[in-house]
Structure 1
């Protein structure tokens, strides 16, 4: 994210008062667009603290290649290094199974079952699945809703120890035009929010004439950026669940290099004590959460 982060000044930050007040002068504007873009990949990074207080990071990347769903697993110890995670990663394509291996000085066991999982719009399962990761005989991460199966795996671990885990980063990749929707929880004690991003011009389809960027939270418009040909990069701030949440966008290629058609949107929680908006990889060393949405108009 270094390329995008150097484009902005602290003085460009604005607070969206419309959402702070809980109401919006403009309601949820319906677009003539009826088709949403396609979610192609989801990457989540979790911070896990073991019972001995050792910290490490687990990256899960949910994949969908022609409906051949699977996930990639990677790990590194503290501090976070994306390069080290990539070197210590592997792809698992079976719908269910177990895997035991050594990586990054950890003895790792992974148990998963997606054979009856329900998927919505992308490669990430939403229910009827489980994924349990055990590191050095300690349960490090539990995902899914199949409680009996998860309990059976936990009982096999002796002594049963469960580390603390928290989602610190989520990245979603899309292909398609103009409308991008997802759900996010910006802090552990917060609630789930529907996030919708729309970006199009006067014709409601392309960015050729007077493009405008709209961002909605729970069907309320929180950000509107007009004259997008001038404001193709920028950032604004909203107040959500008692937190400052910054949105940064870069749609330069959408407008000026349409054959590439790439755009980037990033949400990140920020403490009032933070001295910088974007700390790139260092942001994972702080308490907080980031959501990155990258979009490409061409599926390839």
Structure 2
């Protein structure tokens, strides 16, 4: 096969995977603290609309990405008020956040439908970016990709090698014991949820500023739900999130190339391939580990202090 085609396919896989692993690693941190946020899809689509709107008005991709991230944090703060401050049901609150986010994003983006921007600038290092197969893959991506991989590395180090990461895991595994030991369960969960919201907003910004540099209602297309599934697929381990996201990206590219080559299957069936691949991966994971993944013991359970 032509090396240029191989490189193009690999770059496309990474591009399709980027919003998934950015959103998933943020949700992983939130779930490690014991909070299940089903509002990832809503936070992502608000981040996409706000990010594009600000970038379009200021002609700055950086400002757009920062605004999209901030919008995700604000959405997460609203969720935190409900589930941490008021001990509301996390599942119902997350679903409500997604519905709310879809509506808000449509309102914010209504004036930008059909507008286009130049995609985020990709890195280019003379000599290195020109290498066959691996040149563009390692030295020709945009900054969103490198920032996402750096986030995974930092989260992996934080959770596995720092005292603060141990504290986060302690709260997620037994919030009552953590509270007795003097840890501020509410504050720790708040910070984790806000971090998850920021990552979701950044992932949404990537969609409208780099992946497809325009705004379209519903452009997240269920990626927030896939990010949630990736956390389970990864058994709440950061580096596995990257592997799962690349699997989904590969399935996305597969269905795109199948349509391009005119394979005689309905387009709707081909479009479902990435989601079917994710479901299949979860089934295989469950079959291989019948005792279940090592989910945080307090996941989804509200904490109410008695003192």
TM-score range, shorter chain: under 0.3
**Higher helix content, 1 or 2:** 2
Q: TM-score, normalised to structure 1's length? A: 0.27
TM-score, reference length from structure 2:
0.27
Comparing both structures, which one devotes a greater share of its residues to strand? 1
Higher relative contact order (CA 8 A, sep 6+): 2
